Amino acid sequence: MKQKPPRAAALRYPGYSIVTASCVIQGTIVGAIFTYGVFFDALHAEFGWSRALISGGSSLASLVMGAGAMAFGRLTDQIGPRKILRLAAVMISVGYLLMSRMSAPWHLLVVYPLFIGVAFGSHDVVTLSTVARWFDRRRGRMSAIVKAGTGLGQVIGPAAAAILIAAFGWRSAYLWIAAITGPMVWLATGWMHRSPEDTGITHQDLPSHPSVDPSVSPAVPEARGQISAATPAPVSARSIMRRPEFRRVAIAQSAVFFCAPIIIVHMVPYATDLGIDRAVAAGILSVLGGVSIAGRLLMGSVIDRVGGRSALLVCYAIMLASFVLLQFAGTAPLLYLFAVIYGFAHGGMFTAVSPLMAELFGMRSHGLLYGTVIFIATFSGALGPTIAGLVYDLIGSYRPAFLLLIVLILVAAASIASIRPHPTRR
């Protein structure tokens, strides 16, 4: 029998289909989430709701997302991704269908968190934890491709929502989102499998110099000069959570999670306050998402070379520059420039965290540990949009909230910088 060439066999490695499906799932769910701020003006015009109240729906969804991420992370470790993501597909379609019928504040504050929040809690930890099991040497690059889907969703979602609202009204726009998102996620789950071991397939992306079982703690070549997970894994996930490295990652993510939703939720209303047309304002989020794709793909290769810690610090430095620019951005061109700088850092930053967790703590409980970090971080993520909305309602300006972004990104950078690299053991 004629043997197939090694490269042809590698191209059929199911890990690549899982990366593609994860990219679609992330793009679909995050694209829907990024439409939230586009509906601000329509909801305010129809119901007269305050910005703090409208922001509350996003904040409560963040809390549900965090709890869901922790639960789904553990379930991914145990049963794999497919059932979880199919639940997410149903929840997101039902959620947006109900959103199209809302008429009272409690509808927003209950439906959006309980349905869309649950779906959002699944997308990141389930897909990235699954991909991390299928890839080791190219984990950063594969994670970047998955997160590129997030960027595509950020490009398409806000622009599509603005067009749909202008053409059909906000209620019909929500119906369109319901009709598209759930079925797309459901179809993509057909390619999702927990790990090569579960499917009886040989792992084709092991490290060049393995030091331990990669399912416990992936090896990292010394030349990369990064944090290594080559030390023996702790007995339990609980013991890992007591380590200072885990706490510092959680602090950094908490600071970042406070910042990111403020940009997502309040950038469009901030721009329209400046007299910028809603469609042009929504384009700011689309540009942010588009540039984030470049940030994810470039930083994915950087992660594989220098590790998640160094990659995160680079992203934080770029993000700091964008937040300084935001203090002076009062025109559409400057806001678009902000979106370019911030978008690059945003994409790279969210790509680096899952590989960093694998480097630090191994793969045995990756889903639970990554999900727990997200859960902790979403408490501050829930506060961010609401606090920014309250600040605006009280003083008519986002200035104090935007200044706080600078402080928090410095906190995140200090937390990650304090994690010291460990020598790799062969």
Structure-block tokens of residue 295: 């940030």
Structure-block tokens of residue 18: 């899982």
Structure-block tokens of residue 103: 């008429």
Q: Environment class of residue 120 by beta-carbon count within 10 Å: exposed (0-12), middle (13-18) or buried (19+)?
A: buried
Residue recorded with tokens 């605006």: 392
Domain covering 15-194+213-417, topology: Growth Hormone; Chain: A; (1.20.1250)
Q: Hey, what amino acid is at 264?
A: I
Q: Is the CB of residue 132 less than 8 Å from the CB of residue 18? A: no
Please tell me whether residue 203 adopts helix, strand or coil conformation. coil
Q: For residues 81 and 19, what is the distance between their CA atoms, to the nearest angstrom? A: 13
Sorted by sequence, the CB contacts under 8 Å of residue 220 that are 6+ apart come out as: 207, 226, 227, 228, 229, 230, 307, 359, 424
Q: Environment class of residue 104 by beta-carbon count within 10 Å: exposed (0-12), middle (13-18) or buried (19+)?
A: exposed
DSSP for 215-258?
A: TT-----GGG------SPPPSSHHHHHTSHHHHHHHHHHHHHHH
Task: Tell me the pLDDT of the chain (426 aa) as tens digits.
Answer: 444 444 444 557 888 899 999 999 999 998 898 888 788 888 888 898 887 788 788 878 878 887 888 788 888 888 889 999 999 999 999 999 999 999 999 999 999 999 998 888 888 888 988 888 888 878 888 888 888 888 788 788 888 998 999 999 999 999 999 999 999 999 999 889 888 877 777 777 666 544 444 444 443 443 344 444 444 444 477 888 888 999 999 999 999 989 988 888 888 888 988 888 877 887 888 888 788 888 888 888 888 888 888 999 999 999 999 999 999 988 999 999 999 999 999 888 888 888 888 888 887 777 888 888 888 888 887 788 888 888 888 888 888 999 999 999 999 999 999 987 654 333
| Phi, psi values for residue 49, rounded to 5° | -70, 145
Sorted by sequence, the CB contacts under 8 Å of residue 124 that are 6+ apart come out as: 26, 69, 350, 374
What pTM value is reported for the model? 0.71
